[in-house]
Amino acid sequence: MSTVKIVEAPEGIGGQGFFATSLDSVVGLARKNSIWPLPFATSCCGIEFMSTMSSHYDLARFGSERLSFTPRQADLLMVMGTIAKKMGPVLRQVYEQMAEPKWVIAVGACASSGGIFDTYSVLQGIDRIIPVDVYVPGCPPRPEQIIEGVMRIQDLIGKESLRRRNSEDYKKLLEEYMVK
């Protein structure tokens, strides 16, 4: 019999025929293994993401094969590529149209900090306009790094309390970004 565990059980108390854990853990387990990403790809990092989705790297192994091209059916915004300042309001609108709970990854140097494009026209990091949960370094990051970023998001989601989205800290964060 295989000893490989596809999904780790959350912390809890188990015995013959029963397992008890918290609601936060169960919901976190379900959410983290069924992330629906929205790829917001504007340039070369998007090509690395295509590779991440293809058979060799196969993001489907993490339950994230169902990409969403409408923000209303996505919970992970993956921003990949150079974001021109003119594109900023579009990215912001996409973020605002996503329902809670939602998470954001900045993939690559451009999305994280503007990268090599230290110019008047390029946004010097998407965290100037939307909150970011995980930054993936690299120009471009390899698919392994993008997968690592998704796994870090999974860690966050798995540990997130159901109450976090109603917390004062979260409201303050949204206020800082002037998100309605």
Q: How many angstroms separate the Cα of 127 from the Cα of each of 20, 27, 71, 137?
A: 39, 27, 18, 14
From residue 95 to residue 124, what is the string marking binding to ligand SF4 with x (rule CB under 6 A)? -------------xxx----x---------
Shortest reach from residue 126's CB to ligand SF4, in Å: 12
Among residues 87 and 157, whose Cβ is nearest to ligand SF4?
Answer: 87
Under rule CB under 6 A, residue 146 binds ligand SF4: no
- Cis amide prior to 143 (ω within 30 degrees): no
Under rule CB under 6 A, residue 43 binds ligand SF4: yes
Residue 35's nearest CA partner among 100, 102, 124 is 102
| Binder among 21, 29, 36, 44 for ligand SF4 (CB under 6 A) | 44
Shortest reach from residue 35's CB to ligand SF4, in Å: 22
Shortest reach from residue 115's CB to ligand SF4, in Å: 4
Shortest reach from residue 160's CB to ligand SF4, in Å: 28
Q: Looking at the DSSP assignment, which residues form a beta bridge with residue 122?
A: 84
First to last CA, the chain: 52
Under rule CB under 6 A, residue 41 binds ligand SF4: no
Integer Cα distance of 108 and 169 in angstroms: 27
Q: How many angstroms separate the Cα of 87 from the Cα of each of 123, 135, 147?
A: 9, 19, 26
Under rule CB under 6 A, residue 139 binds ligand SF4: yes
| Binder among 52, 64, 82, 154 for ligand SF4 (CB under 6 A) | 82
Integer Cα distance of 140 and 154 in angstroms: 22
Among residues 78 and 157, whose Cβ is nearest to ligand SF4?
Answer: 78
Among residues 45 and 74, whose Cβ is nearest to ligand SF4?
Answer: 45
3-state secondary structure of 113: helix
Q: Residues in the chain, how many?
A: 180
Residues in contact with ligand SF4 by CB under 6 A are 43-45, 81-82, 108-110, 115, 139-140
